[in-house]
Structure 1
Amino acid sequence: MGLAQELNKATCYSYPADFASFFSPLGLHSPKLTVVELSIDSRFRFSSLLLLCATASWKNDTASRARVSSYAFVPTAGANILSQPRLYEDDAHSVVEVRTDSLQTLRELGPPDLIHLVKQPVKSSAAKQIGVYHHVTGIDASSSASLAAYINTLTYSNNDKINKITSGLYCCYNAFSRVDMRVQVQIPGTVESYCVDERGAKLEATDEHWLETYLCSVLRAYSYADNGSGDTIKRIIGTRRFNPITSTEQETKFLEAAEKLFFSGWQLGSDPEIQVPNLVSNHLTSGLLSYIKTTGRYAAGINLFEKLREKDAEVSSLLAQVYFAADEEVKAIQLLRDAVEELPMDYSLLDCQAQFCNRKGRGDLALDIAKRSVISAPSEFGTWARLAEVYVAMEQWELALLTLNSCPMFTYQDKDAPRLPEPSRISLPLAPETVCDEIDDAGATPDSDNVHPTLRRLAAGNYKGTFHKAYLLLTEITKKIGWDQLLKVRSQVFVMEEEYRNEKQTGPSTNSKSASTIALHGNDAAQPNGEGHGTALQKSDDLEQSDDEDSEADGPDGVSTQLEPDVSKPSTSITVRSATETPQPQPTNTDPSHQTYTQFQHKRLCERWLDNLFMVLYEDLRIYTIWRTEASQYRQQQLAYKKAAEEWEILGELAERLHHPQEAFEAWQSCLSIRFSPKAMRGVLNVFEQEGSGRKALDALIRLVAWQYRWYSEFSPDLLYSIRKLIEDEGAVKVRSIIQATSLPQHVLDLTHQYAALCATFRSGGTDG
């Protein structure tokens, strides 16, 4: 396509005057503009054209030419930019002021970038101004010019004939220096860049600030990306998501920035399972590992961590993880051996070793390593959870429960989401390239579905952080030994209410070691509860609620093909009331008449949170049994078993967390037969991937990618990873052929082609043919 035709598509231009006006706010003034080459930039596909060179008068000015090629986006009338989300500011609250006030409450990477535009009527400069804003992730934040260029794309895509944009403000949080970087663009006029600290004071933006801000923006793009289920998209409305790294050049820029700031990464915080961020466990290392896994750029990751390992041997655990991911197990094992000799009590190295041995079915080797890891970091949840996993793999159920009971649990800290007032109006226009009746989930609001209260009250689906992982361990044990056997093991390990009352009447005697001793050294050691002790009787809150109403509404308990005829309700255990309560020491009782209570003396007090998990698991199993029984009865009577779409979503998640993939698949398929659901489609995709059904998985991916684009998300690391793995298994040519043969509109298929093209850009496995 010729230059004239390209400019013809950009209907807002009268070449060359409008090109000059586009660059004037950036300080690049020239009456003559020579365009040499135009190409599509994948970050703004269907949205903008990247100007790759400068004017004739700039050709001898290296600095100016470099600036132009890095940020000058010439917008077309493409659908994506015209269909940007617009949230209208409430007159009583300025979103910029609210963001400034909330800076002191930010703890980690910070919220997505905020773009605030000021509009006023075209025909009256004295009329009331209107504030419009949206959020964005993935924009290059390495300089004020790149952020100003994004605002300029918005001014040229403004299809509002009544109002014009007079100014724009781009806010991007720097989590290293804890300042908000801001670029103010006056249209027409100047560009001003500065930063605002937690007190609201205006400071000068330095080059170091911009380096830190760039790295934070890339990490946020991965942290705030959606996994395909739509949960993250629905949580923060009006957010555009772009891929921050779409070429090997941008990858080099990212890794160089990460190398420079690597030893400051602990300042960014860490995942909720980590109590204290450190050199190898923080948001920077999580982001690096996520990028390497998503793109398959193992060589680049190995090169980075090799250089960092020369400065600090602790980085060896990260390097080993990349080696394992790259299927270089021999190198990883040799590296871990050498590193452990140098740092014998580094828990990250030990945990990496234990995970590998356990994955290979060598629990005997993993056990001692996991114990050493716990000793080196007893306050970290991850070390205890790994030890519990090893015990589960070795089928030592009592020790697995004791270890789980000893896990330190942390209150879940959610991401730094925007805390802005409710907008007065929201406009979420549909991008033409995402129009597809098959993925239209309009009307999919909770109010539109009649969800039974019992399903809404299932608590396990809301667990996050350490509680989520602990629940997964509990369900894993249940999957292997069954619910009734789990209750039996529980009664053998923990003090039950009836035993407690008998012992209290007879007279207690305690002379035991700490809770963690049993988990670390086996059955021969006895201990009361680890972190807190208590002698007061404490029933779980869940036991105080009656299930009669729910059982009557849902139907009678019946026989399930997966469970016993009845799901036994767990007996009441004695739980720790408070970590500050300590039992009074009692004299050792050597009277032979008390020998019958030796077993009781060796039992532990169950942590209250773990006791609650048992009750939550019981409720999950009860509802699951009722569902499967009802479905079986309806099937026998040849009747349609009907539920609302959202109910099928909940049942699918329920079956998945109880390790019943086929039943989960059945529920998600039932949901999709009613309406499109990204959560159900994501679940179906997981099943197809586990089964190795490449064609079916690709069909699901195409629909998920299109739905993501519909809600302004052009980047999902999880979906990119799924497509990359498919290309590795099937080959790029076959994948492209399957995509093209799908009976969906071409503009929908092109969205998935873009993900496949990105894999080719990074030379992923299978893209050479």
Structure 2
Amino acid sequence: MVQPAVPELVEVDLHESLEARTESLLTLRQLGPPDLVHLIKVQPKGTHKEIGTYHHVTGIDASSSASLAAYINTLTYSIGENQVWFGKPQSWKIQAGTYCCYNAFSRVDMRVDVSFPGSVDAYAVDDRGERRVATEPLWLETYLCSVLRAYAYAEDNVQTRIVGCRRFNPIVSTESEHRFLDAAERLFAKGWQLGSDPEVQVPNIVSNHLTTGILKYIQTTGRFASGVNLFEKLRIKYPEVASLLAKVLIDADEEVKAVQLLYETIKVLPMDHALLGVQADFCQSKGRSDLALECAKRAVNSAPSEFTTWAKLAEIYIALEQYEMALLTLNSCPMFTYQERDFPRMPQPAKMHLPILPESMIDESLDEYDVKQDPLPAASLKGTFATAYRLLTEIVAQVGWDTLLKCRSNVFVMEEEYRHEKNASTVTNASTTALRGNSSEAERKPEDLEKPNGSPEKSNDEKEITEGVATISISESDQDTIIEKPEQSKETENDEEGSEDDSKNYTQFQNKRLCERWLDNLFMVLYEDLRIYTIWRGEIQKQKMKNLPVEKSASDWEIHGELAERLHHVDEAIEAYRNCLNIRFSSKAFRGLLGAQEKARDVRGALNSIIRLTAWNYRWYSEFSPSLLNSVRRLIAEEGAIKFRSVVQSTNLPQSALDLTHHYSEICVAFRSSGSEM
């Protein structure tokens, strides 16, 4: 199998990349950055001046010092004799190399120094920069972390690209799978030490990066039987693992077993929010959101400080078309500051050697390194805020902007209401004060949303009000759902500014809540998305009516495709992506099309997207994409391996690019996936 080319970043000062990595160890909080490979090179026939180069890599077997030293040894053949260096053929000799692989369990950096010819030195460096002995337990932890990182960093895109990073598939056979799952079983109890996804506040034994990695591997490769065997063994010691086992059983179409498992386990662990979440997901998938609602309420009661339980409850209220309850629930979600992945922090290199693999080049340029970024604020949302925004867009997609505003004014205190009551009473505690009455406020217009709460600036009292925390007490049924009632305000003895007409026009906040500032800002973000989308669609309609072409750049079409996709306008998103691809290559546009092509069972179109994305990945030094492997596996399961290979071969693309795609089908054959029998 053809391997990706080797990128090289040239150091200004020798060993500065290793020093920067050592200094950053203290700041690492999760799985750690990709592995670092540092090389010292000289030109035998030149000045013999040493230069330092480095690149990053994921997916290399890190189970021992020998396997890491072997990787460095392979580089002597890839970037040694007759290397094209900045456009000129040159000969280089690697004098020494260092491989750095982070162990997120013990918080040490495992390093292997290789000198040519022949010597290998393995050791660990802690966050204080001190050396430790590299023991067998440390190597086991390092191996497991390297596999999890390979999956976590596999999906590369322009926004999150790590310059000069090679990506390999860490598990390509049933033997390597067995080693991975064995290591996961042995270290399962320590998984919470790795941290968790940004939507999880407190990592636990079933919600952490280890369990996320295991589930992603199982879902990507379709190795459900292996997952069931692993979790069955772990469930004996850890009953909570039943939630993970049930997920795998459902994915494997063993729904009866999954329901039986949930029924038996919930009797033992009645307040396990993970189990209740799986129950809610299953009921919702069967179109029984009414049953899912009760499970979601119990999950919120069992874990009120977790974002995922509240978000699931809001999602179910949206499915039940109870939009006001969905907004109240969303307002109560505990939001967490997003923690970025542990990206490598390297000094600015003197220069970068980014070679192109000839096999990855097809009929268009695959270089989209400097593309226009999406200027809309919604594109930059991450973690809990991205999920909350998605729920808001689902409401808008179902009922429209005007109805959303009406629901908002029915459940939240509006600016005008607050101002009226502020003038009519003495506000003693703005974060808990509420007006009294039952009449409703007139709906706010979209143009009032140019500033949060419709005002350019907030007074100190108004700022205080937006920081109040709204809570909902969830009980077992809709009738028992209690919205916490705020304290009433103290009225002044002389209300000179109030009038009877005002009392009729404004509610006096008895059952209304204060909208959290973050949610108020998301309404602003949504308004901006809708405004730009409306302008865009209006321009297109005008041009079509005049029979004129719509002249936009590829980057603009790409941004509009993302915007339409965020707002759940699938057809418009596909149209924008196709227009983008008519101008130039775009990995983002092909990814957007691939999902739609799979849903429409457009095999030829889906394979065309897969081939081009695979070539693009190789262009940027990656042979492994979990999402593409999953797409290939599903296509083979539906159409069969023979038809898959036949359609791939029938395309008019270069054979070298087709061979890169066959690599994924070979993995499916090695794993004996459904439909892969030749």
- Give me the TM-score of the superposition, normalised by structure 1: 0.78
CA spacing shift, 1:400–1:580, aligned 2, 3 Å: closer
1:686 maps to 2:595: yes
8 A contact 2:415–2:454 mirrored in 1: no
Counterparts of 1:554-703 in structure 2, within 5 Å, are 576-578=465-467, 586=489, 600-703=509-612
8 A contact 2:360–2:656 mirrored in 1: yes
1:294-351 CA distance string (max 9 Å, x none):
0000000000000000001000000001011111111111111111100010111111
1:746 corresponds in structure 2 to: 655
1:216 maps to 2:137: no
Percentage of matched positions with identical amino acids = 60
1:346 maps to 2:272: yes
1:11 corresponds in structure 2 to: none
**Equivalent position to 1:314, from 233, 240, 244:** 240
8 A contact 1:405–1:607 mirrored in 2: yes
CA spacing shift, 1:632–1:585, aligned 2, 3 Å: closer
**Distance in 1 separating the partners of 2:585 and 2:529:** 25
**Equivalent position to 2:59, from 138, 146, 162:** 138
1:766 corresponds in structure 2 to: 675
Higher relative contact order (CA 8 A, sep 6+): 2
Task: Write the letter of the residue equivalent to 1:46.
Answer: V
Q: Secondary structure at the match of 2:187?
A: helix
- Deviation of 1:463 (Å): 0.7
8 A contact 2:164–2:354 mirrored in 1: yes
CA spacing shift, 1:597–1:632, aligned 2, 3 Å: closer
Which sections of structure 2, spanning at least 5 residues, go unmatched? 84-89, 439-448, 472-485
**Equivalent position to 2:165, from 235, 239, 256:** 239
Q: Secondary structure at the match of 1:231?
A: coil
**Distance in 2 separating the partners of 1:486 and 1:436:** 47
Q: Secondary structure at the match of 2:146?
A: helix
8 A contact 1:574–1:605 mirrored in 2: no
1:226 maps to 2:155: yes
Task: Write the letter of the residue equivalent to 1:501.
Answer: R
- Deviation of 1:602 (Å): 1.2
1:112 corresponds in structure 2 to: 34
**Distance in 2 separating the partners of 1:479 and 1:457:** 22
Q: Secondary structure at the match of 1:423?
A: coil
8 A contact 1:458–1:620 mirrored in 2: yes
Q: Secondary structure at the match of 1:279?
A: coil
CA spacing shift, 1:506–1:286, aligned 2, 3 Å: same
2:445 corresponds in structure 1 to: none
Task: Write the letter of the residue equivalent to 1:191.
Answer: V
8 A contact 2:533–2:563 mirrored in 1: yes
CA spacing shift, 1:335–1:730, aligned 2, 3 Å: same
- Deviation of 1:580 (Å): 9.0
2:193 corresponds in structure 1 to: 267
- Deviation of 1:689 (Å): 1.4
Counterparts of 1:145-294 in structure 2, within 5 Å, are 145-157=66-78, 158-159=80-81, 160=83, 161-226=90-155, 230-231=157-158, 235-294=161-220
Q: Secondary structure at the match of 2:582?
A: helix
Counterparts of 1:444-459 in structure 2, within 5 Å, are 445-446=370-371, 456-459=374-377
1:97 corresponds in structure 2 to: 19
1:729 maps to 2:655: no
**Distance in 2 separating the partners of 1:661 and 1:142:** 45
CA spacing shift, 1:666–1:630, aligned 2, 3 Å: same
8 A contact 1:540–1:611 mirrored in 2: no
1:538-593 CA distance string (max 9 Å, x none):
995596789xxxxxxxxxxxxxxxxxxxxxxxxxx98844359999874699x9x9
**Distance in 2 separating the partners of 1:643 and 1:513:** 48
1:129 corresponds in structure 2 to: 50
**Distance in 2 separating the partners of 1:635 and 1:365:** 47
**Equivalent position to 1:493, from 404, 411, 427:** 411
CA spacing shift, 1:605–1:510, aligned 2, 3 Å: farther
**Distance in 1 separating the partners of 2:203 and 2:344:** 23
8 A contact 1:196–1:202 mirrored in 2: yes
1:5-41 CA distance string (max 9 Å, x none):
xxxxxxxxxxxxxxxxxxxxxxxxxxxxxxxxxxxxx
Task: Write the letter of the residue equivalent to 1:223.
Answer: A
- Deviation of 1:123 (Å): 4.0
1:384 corresponds in structure 2 to: 310
8 A contact 1:510–1:585 mirrored in 2: no
- Give me the TM-score of the superposition, normalised by structure 2: 0.89
- Deviation of 1:692 (Å): 1.9
**Equivalent position to 1:468, from 382, 386, 391:** 386
8 A contact 1:576–1:608 mirrored in 2: no
**Distance in 2 separating the partners of 1:606 and 1:434:** 51
Q: Secondary structure at the match of 2:549?
A: coil
1:36 corresponds in structure 2 to: none
1:367 corresponds in structure 2 to: 293
Task: Write the letter of the residue equivalent to 2:221.
Answer: T
1:450-495 CA distance string (max 9 Å, x none):
x8xxxx5310011110000000000000011111110111111111
Q: Secondary structure at the match of 1:181?
A: strand
**Distance in 2 separating the partners of 1:621 and 1:713:** 36
After superposing the two structures, state which structure 1 stretch, 135-144 or 576-585, moved more: 576-585
**Distance in 1 separating the partners of 2:623 and 2:468:** 47
**Distance in 1 separating the partners of 2:196 and 2:432:** 29
1:717 corresponds in structure 2 to: 626
CA spacing shift, 1:183–1:92, aligned 2, 3 Å: closer
Q: Secondary structure at the match of 1:177?
A: coil
Equivalenced residue count is 633
- Deviation of 1:365 (Å): 1.1
